[in-house]
């Protein structure tokens, strides 16, 4: 799949996220809460550091982050969510991974199944599509008139990036999950800003959306992302 299509995907997703800020804040708060239960000091808890970085990337206000941290170490610390991963297919065999944090699987599973079955897809068995994805850090930099391409490419390589892709819209930097925070922090020290920076599941192969199924697939993603128990949705759909 071309970098340009990938870039449009991320831009479209950012737009959708901006329209649902409250929902995004709620999901990231849940992630911070769960991570902080293993230790409230981000320097000693890499999972919490990642969750806080994700919050920064999504412009979550500091007081929302603080409330989630306080809750994890205070009176609300008895809430217990578990991570559940659902795997399935969208229309045309598009691979879809759904990461959930839930305290009630009996509520979450039927909702996820409904989103698939009502929109040309179906839930698969555990492991049915996961092998098509790799866990990687992914950072996007937007290209502007002042962008110094050579400087960005060199800085990213020196910071420890695994791969850098340049397109007319900007740059996609890929890292190993364990190197993600270090690469991000080194580039920020160089004055580089990101429009998105997260650890994600990146597809190793892509599947085109069947003609006429675009709306159906978008609706499926929307239902899943609207679900309070769903944290992240990853797929391997390409735009061409």
**Residue segments in the chain with a per-residue pLDDT below the cut of 50:** 1-4, 7
3-class SS of residue 40: coil
CA nearest to 50, candidates 184, 152, 203, 186: 184
What distances in angstroms separate CA 60 from CA 11, 27, 29, 103, 225, one per listed residue?
18, 11, 9, 23, 17
| pLDDT at residue 84 in the model | 96
Residue 3: predicted pLDDT: 40
Provide the pLDDT for residue 10. Answer: 53
Domain with CATH 3.30.70.980 in the chain: 82-131+205-238, 133-203
pLDDT tens, 133-186? 999 999 999 998 888 899 999 999 999 999 999 988 899 999 999 999 999 999
Region of 217 please: left (phi>0), alpha (psi -120 to 50) or beta.
alpha
Q: What is the fold of 133-203?
A: Alpha-Beta Plaits (3.30.70)
All CATH 1.10.10.200 domain ranges of the chain, comma separated, are 3-73
pLDDT for 132 equals 96
What sign does the dihedral 87-89-95-101 (CA atoms) show?
Answer: negative
Q: Does domain 82-131+205-238 have CATH number 3.30.70.980?
A: yes
For residues 47 and 53, give the distance between their C-alpha atoms in angstroms, rounded to a whole number: 10
Nearest to 229 by CA among 27, 17, 55: 27
Exposure string of 71-88, with b = 16+ CB inside 10 Å and e = fewer, is bbeeeeeeeebeebebbb
pLDDT for 2 = 38
Note the pTM of the prediction, 2 decimals. Answer: 0.83
What is the structure's pLDDT at 79? 76
> Which residues partner with 14 through β-bridges?
none
CATH value of 3-73 in 1.10.10.200, 1.10.10.60, 1.25.60.10, 3.40.50.300: 1.10.10.200
């Amino acid at each position: 799949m071309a970098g340009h299509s990938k870039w449009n995907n991320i831009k479209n997703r950012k737009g959708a996220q901006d329209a649902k800020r409250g929902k995004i804040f709620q999901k990231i708060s849940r992630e911070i809460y769960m991570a902080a239960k293993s230790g409230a000091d981000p320097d000693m808890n890499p999972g919490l550091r990642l969750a806080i970085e994700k919050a920064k990337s999504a412009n979550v206000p500091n007081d929302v982050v603080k409330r989630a941290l306080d809750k994890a170490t205070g009176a609300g610390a008895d809430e217990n969510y578990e991570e559940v991963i659902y795997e399935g297919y969208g229309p045309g065999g598009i691979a879809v991974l759904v990461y959930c944090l839930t305290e009630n699987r009996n509520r979450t599973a039927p909702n996820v199944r409904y989103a698939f079955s009502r929109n040309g897809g179906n839930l698969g068995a555990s492991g049915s599509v996961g092998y098509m994805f790799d866990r990687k850090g992914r950072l996007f930099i937007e290209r502007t008139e002042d962008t110094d391409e050579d400087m960005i490419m060199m800085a990213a390589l020196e910071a420890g990036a695994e791969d850098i892709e340049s397109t007319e819209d900007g740059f996609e930097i890929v890292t190993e999950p364990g190197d993600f925070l270090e690469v991000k922090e080194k580039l920020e020290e160089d004055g580089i800003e990101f429009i998105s920076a997260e650890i994600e599941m990146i597809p190793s192969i892509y599947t085109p959306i069947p003609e006429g199924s675009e709306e159906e697939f978008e609706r499926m993603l929307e239902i899943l992302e609207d679900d309070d128990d769903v944290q992240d949705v990853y797929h391997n759909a390409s735009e061409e």
